Amino acid sequence: MSDPYSTFVQSLSKNVQPKGPAAAYTAVHVIKALIVIESSKSVGRVMLSRVLGIGEGSVRTIIKRLQQQSLISIDSIGGCALTSIGREVLGKVKKGMVSSCKVDLSGMGVGYPSYAIQISLDISAHSVLKLRDVAIKWGAEGAIVFNFSGGRIVVPSITDDLSQTSPSMHYELMNRFRLQEGDHVIATFAHDADSAEMSALAVFLFLKGIQ
């Protein structure tokens, strides 16, 4: 179920004019833009366009709407930075995302660039197939869900103990993440690193009620 912050961000991707053309970006692009701006001292429209994979016109619209909502400030040369309100909103939306990074999924027989997000959310309402479908919609070739339960890493329908079936993959995840009981790692893989990262974020936001 969406919280007020998620609903607010979702609204940023809606058309201002009900009868206008469909927006060429989604709430996922908006969140990704905020994350990129947060991690950069100052980021401009050209860089955001490249990272988000959408046109500069759409990025210009995103920037305008974020500024109108006081989520970002823009300096004299067009660089964007998060405001205190922007940091608060992004922090609330990212609640449940423990950490994220590139991962090596070769232990699962995957040779594509891969990205994973460690989450502490209840995902029981969604099947692994549904989460994979969301990832594929965003350019991934596939997705793998790892659950940390009873001190073991479980891969639904594949193994009840990853350390026994793929020690190298078990080591990779334990080395990359500080897993706590009930945590999940959503790993997506794609032909390029940007698509892998974007699709992993899309899955996380889907779990938060943002699409």
pTM beyond cutoff 0.75 = yes
CA distance 61 to 54: 11
What sign does the dihedral 175-142-162-117 (CA atoms) show?
positive
Rg for the chain, CA atoms, rounded: 18
Instruction: Write down the pLDDT at residue 24.
Output: 81
* β-pair type (72-74, 80-82): antiparallel
Give pLDDT tens digits for 92-128.
Answer: 999 999 999 999 999 999 999 999 999 999 999 999 9
Domains of the chain: 4-93 (1.10.10.10), 97-207 (3.30.1360.30)
Instruction: Write down the pLDDT at residue 211.
Output: 79
Strand partners, 153: 148
The whole-number mean pLDDT for each consecutive block of 10 residues of the chain, a chain of 211 residues, reads 64 58 79 92 86 92 92 84 92 95 98 98 95 96 98 96 98 98 98 95 94 79
Instruction: Write down the pLDDT at residue 5.
Output: 64
Per DSSP, 21 falls in state: P
Question: Which of 132, 135, 142, 144 has the alpha carbon at shortest distance from 187?
Answer: 144
Identify whether the C-beta of residue 173 lies closer than 8 Å to the C-beta of residue 179. yes
**CB proximity list for 133: less than 8 A, separation 6 or greater:** none
Instruction: Write down the pLDDT at residue 203.
Output: 98
Token pair recorded at residue 126: 């969604």
Instruction: Write down the pLDDT at residue 22.
Output: 52
CA distance 191 to 161: 28
